[in-house]
Amino acid sequence: MGQSDRVPFLKPASVLKRAPWQDSQEVRISNWMTEWNFVETIDAGLIGAPYSSASISASGAAGGPEAVRMAFRYNTTYSPDWGVDIQSLRVRDLGDIAGHLTDVTAAHQHIEDAISGSLTYSDMFVPVIVGGDHSITAPAVRGFARAHAGKRIGVINIDAHLDVRNFEHGPHNGTPFRQIVEGMDQVDGRNVVEFGIHGFMNAQPYHQWCIDQEITVISGREIQRRGIESCMG
């Protein structure tokens, strides 16, 4: 039984490369993170969403999942920065979500259904969704919410952009957090954080909209002034 038979619109990853060589003293992520059999209990699952047709500017974001998997051939499970080795965790690759090239709404529905469907096998694992343009965020959160019906959900956007544009041009990659706040009962503006917003890349009316929704907006300048740990506290 394949992924698409278990979970709608989910297919095996197009690229699942192993490290080109082995060292007995290290563990490469590409060798450690294998495909999921949808039976074993896991801690986290990688899900690719190779979709960028909703981007308002030219983007190669659809290649993100493939690029990440290729990079994993050279990454190890150990970080000397933190003194942590994650190889005891059970992390699996669930594959990629099949998008729709010409219909943004349909593509987003595929993402929502695939995320929700994956979590029906085990709602305890952490889904790590790799895009893809930023429009995938809204359907990903909706899919997560469907699998956790009745529970409140918080959202943190780490970005230079607010991504709360109106919908005059459809549900593109500048709209996900407006979609989430206005369209989901499980998410309240008070549980949304816009972190690292900076530069001449936003509009005052959209900033005001965030304030009106009681969204916490922490600018890059504030992080520089207060320090990252203070802002996260």
- When pLDDT is averaged across residues 102-118 and rounded to a whole number, the result is 95
- Give the pLDDT confidence score for residue 59 in this predicted structure: 80
Quote the percentage of the chain above a pLDDT of 70. 96
> Would you identify the CATH topology of the domain 1-151?
Arginase; Chain A (3.40.800)
- Give the pLDDT confidence score for residue 124 in this predicted structure: 82
- When pLDDT is averaged across residues 92-101 and rounded to a whole number, the result is 92
**How high is the mean pLDDT of the chain?**
93
CA dist 183 to 45, 119, 170, Å?
26, 21, 14
d(C-alpha 112, C-alpha 106), whole Å: 10
- Give the pLDDT confidence score for residue 56 in this predicted structure: 83
- Give the pLDDT confidence score for residue 106 in this predicted structure: 95
State whether residue 197 is helix, strand or coil: strand
d(C-alpha 106, C-alpha 109), whole Å: 5
- When pLDDT is averaged across residues 102-130 and rounded to a whole number, the result is 93
- Give the pLDDT confidence score for residue 16 in this predicted structure: 63
User: What angle in degrees, to the nearest 10, is found between the helix axes of 137-147 and 176-183?
Assistant: 30
Q: Which residues contact 83 (CB under 8 A, 6 or more apart)?
A: none
Which of 50-64, 89-103, 169-183 is predicted with the least confidence, judged by mean pLDDT? 50-64
- Give the pLDDT confidence score for residue 13 in this predicted structure: 86
Whether pLDDT at 5 is above 60: yes
- Give the pLDDT confidence score for residue 57 in this predicted structure: 82
Residues of the chain with CATH 3.40.800.10: 1-151
- Give the pLDDT confidence score for residue 3 in this predicted structure: 59
- Give the pLDDT confidence score for residue 224 in this predicted structure: 97
Strand 91-97 relative to strand 10-11, pairing: antiparallel
- When pLDDT is averaged across residues 71-83 and rounded to a whole number, the result is 96
- When pLDDT is averaged across residues 144-156 and rounded to a whole number, the result is 96
Q: Please check whether residue 111 is in contact with residue 173, taking contact to mean a CB–CB distance below 8 angstroms.
A: no
Query: With bands split at pLDDT 50, 70 and 90, how would you rate the model's confidence at 15?
Result: low
Q: Please check whether residue 116 is in contact with residue 143, taking contact to mean a CB–CB distance below 8 angstroms.
A: yes
Specify the pTM: 0.92
| Residue ranges of E strands in 132-191 | 155-158
Rg of the chain, C-alpha, whole Å: 19
d(C-alpha 183, C-alpha 84), whole Å: 39
CA dist 111 to 31, 37, 61, 73, Å?
27, 20, 15, 26
